[in-house]
Amino acid sequence: MTNAHRAPHPHGDPSSTTHPLLHPHPARIAFFDVDHTLTTVTTPALFWEYWSTAARTAPLAAGRALPTAAGAAREERNRDYYRLFAGVSATELRRAGARWYAGFRATAQPFLPAPLAALRAHRAAGDPVVLVSGAPRACLLPLARDLGAGLVLGCEQLTDGRGRLTGEITRPMIGAAKADAAAEVMARHGADPANCHAYGDHSSDLPLLRLCGHPTVVGDDPALAGHAARDGWQWLPGVERLVRIHK
């Protein structure tokens, strides 16, 4: 028998059919990847930089470093990332995420203008907005509250029963896992995938984009650009365009 548990979720269990922020019977749902789809930054890396240098949390990060990208699948790098937080109080991580987000939100350009406008348009139309990301939930939850997203589909971190993280997750929210999680939400709430929208910036978002009847590519990923051109998908400018504008 294991003593591992999911880390507490401030909004309740995000897999619940009675999640308070998600309409019980939406006609359509808008699913958004986060890093470089909504945000201008890679959230896990930026949060680790904050966590490993902030006075209150730096001692907890001593001797640990971000996993390198060389020779490892994105899913395994995602698991390695969460192992950096082994032994950390889930409550402290959540509080650190809120402090980090306050600083991030105050930066000059936290979000990409076009995808942010699309998210707000969905909200104005009454569409529930769901964030689907492998980024830390500690960062995603304050972001979701700020932008009015009703649900976060992310990595479930496990605790040891005393409220401390084991460093393991149930599954990386990468690639096909995003589509699987989105499909579960659609089925649970009776939404037709053909009516739903999805936004992503990386080829790993393809399963999610293909699942929904209205996919939108954000940025200039070559694989996604090919699909957009061939299949008539929508396109929005991403971080590449933002960089060119500010040069």
Instruction: Work out whether the CA dihedral 103, 109, 112, 117 comes out positive or negative.
Output: positive
d(CA 114, CA 108): 16
Give the model's pLDDT for residue 118.
98
Low-confidence ranges of the chain (pLDDT < 70): 1-24, 69-71, 241, 243-247
> Phi and psi for 51 in degrees, rounded to 5?
-60, -40
pLDDT tens profile 131-188: 999 999 999 999 999 999 999 999 999 999 899 999 999 999 999 999 999 999 999 9
Length of the chain: 247
Name the residue among 33, 131, 43 with its Cα closest to residue 81. 43
- List the structure tokens of 23: 């309409």
From residue 126, give the alpha-carbon distance in Å to each of 16, 36, 187.
20, 24, 19
What CA–CA distance (Å, rounded) separates 217 from 6? 32
3-state secondary structure of 190: coil
pLDDT for the residue numbered 17: 34
What residue type is assigned to position 140 of the chain? L
Distance CA 179, CA 173 (A): 9
**pLDDT reported for residue 16:** 36
Cα separation, 61 vs 55, whole angstroms: 11
Q: Which residues of 197-210 are buried (b: 16+ CB within 10 A; e: fewer)?
A: bbbbbbbbbbbbbe
